[in-house]
Amino acid sequence: MLFNKKIAVVVPAYNEEKQIGMVIETMPAFVDRIVIINDCSKDSTADVILRHMEQDHTNPVDVTPQSSAIQRTLHNEAEVILHESEKKELKYFPPCDIVQERHSRIVLINQLKNSGNGVGIARGLKWTKDHQFDCAAVMDGDGQMDPAELESIVTPIVKDEVDYVKGNRLIHRSAWLVIPKIRYFGNSILAILTKIASGYWRVSDTQCGFIALSLRAMQSLRIHQIYRRYGWPNDLLVKLNIAYCTLREVEIKPVYHIGEKSKMKIHKIIPKISWLLLKSFFKRLWIKYLFRDFHPLFLLYNFSFILGLLLIPYIAKIIYLSIYGQSISFETLAMFLFLSTAGFQSLFFAMFMDIQDNERLYK
């Protein structure tokens, strides 16, 4: 425990037999449960975890799952429906075996089908939410996250200051020297897109998976809908913004070359996450700024998109006339200038209002 709050760490692991032992052994003592999701590894990851479970006699505090039923009253129908919905959430996850010993703080969730990094993290968060942990952090099973920095990640949560904390490697003074340049470049592209899509305009290290969530944040999410693979940090930011969750970034050091083997392919990930963020942007726009609470930026954004579509034929016409050396009519040029000017102004005003509205969520 930390500040009398229960803390769990979710550790997704796939073929991490060489690294997972180090992650377990270096986990700080204040962590009440280490929830490891073995994503159907093909190596001996599960055996390594089981050996550590046998050797671990920390005798952690008892944690019990959320009550199986809520007494219905005249005024609590909403709570009953929500509770039933959370109980049914497990059916959206792949089948798994859960191994847990009373003497050990390690919980092993063996997924029976390889389902992806995001699914594993979502399954671990589901377990911690159901067992009413005050804070759940995420640390990868490859050892790239320094356990000594975990306290700085979870402290703002357990002090009830914010709902979500995210590690930021880019503000560390060694970032440019340590992070591989291709990853730095890819991270920068996705950071720009994620700012626009999520509404958290001040977040920068969008791909960092060293995070922590409060119980309130977990309860505000449909955890099973978190993106299945490596775009989950981006998707999670959008979902948290829609739920009006507050965020803080904490400086952490970039860690590489400790024996980890990256499973990410940058050239494949960027297009997939970009498409995810495009869809997520419109989802946030419609849910947050129309259905839940109307805001003028909804009109400004959509007006700029309509003007942009109307502008396309004029752009094509001007290019065609320029290539074949024909003169451009005054009407064509005037409409091009009007649509482009009005469209960009509408877009910039919408983005400015978006930034101002979401400033309150960044602590």
DSSP 113-140: S---HHHHHHHHHHHHHHTT-SEEEE--
Q: How far apart are CA 40 and CA 111, in angstroms?
A: 5
Does the pLDDT of residue 262 top 80, yes or no?
A: no
**How many degrees, rounded to 5, is the angle at CA 67 between CA 64 and CA 70?**
165
pLDDT tens-digit profile of 322-345? 998 899 999 999 999 999 999 999
Q: How far is residue 233's CA from residue 205's CA, in Å, rounded to a whole number? A: 10
Domain spans of the chain? 7-291, 295-361
Query: How far is residue 231's CA from residue 285's CA, in Å, rounded to a whole number?
Result: 20
pLDDT average, residue stretch 106-130: 95
What is the mean predicted confidence (pLDDT) over 293-300?
Answer: 96
DSSP string spanning 83-117? HHHHHHGGGGSPPEEEEE-TT-SEEEEEESS---H
- The yes-or-no verdict on residue 266 having pLDDT over 80 is no
CATH superfamily of 7-291: Spore Coat Polysaccharide Biosynthesis Protein SpsA; Chain A (3.90.550.10)
Number of C-beta neighbours around residue 33 at 10 A: 24
Residue 8 has what pLDDT?
97
Q: What is the mean pLDDT of the segment spanning 115-121?
A: 94
Predicted confidence (pLDDT) per residue in 137-172, tens digit: 999 998 889 999 999 999 999 999 999 999 999 999
> Given CA atoms 120, 122, 128, 130 in this order, what sign does their dihedral have?
negative
- Res. 64: pLDDT tops 80: no
Query: Residue 67: which pLDDT band, with cuts at 50, 70 and 90?
Result: low
pLDDT category at 363 given cuts 50, 70, 90 is confident
Please state, in angstroms and rounded to a whole number, the distance separating the CA atoms of residues 295 and 352.
Answer: 13
At 195, the amino acid letter reads: K
Query: Would you say 346 and 189 are in contact if contact means Cβ atoms under 8 Å apart?
Result: no
Q: What is residue 8's three-state secondary structure? A: strand
pLDDT of residue 260: 58
DSSP 223: G
pLDDT in the model for residue 264: 61
| CA 233 – CA 203 distance, rounded (Å) | 12
What's the pLDDT score for residue 175? 86
Both tokens of 186, joined, read: 């890819």
Quote the tokens at residue 52: 């550590």
Say if residue 237's pLDDT is above 70.
Answer: yes
Does residue 361 contact residue 241 with C-beta atoms inside 8 Å?
Answer: yes
With a pLDDT cut of 70, the percent of the chain lying above it is 96
pLDDT averaged over the chain? 92
> H or E segment at 348?
helix 330-358
Q: What integer pLDDT is reported at residue 72 of this predicted model?
A: 84
β-pair partners for 251: 168
The answer, yes or no, to whether residue 259 has pLDDT greater than 70, is no
Per-residue pLDDT tens over the stretch 177-236: 888 888 888 888 899 999 999 999 999 999 999 999 999 999 999 999 999 988 999 999
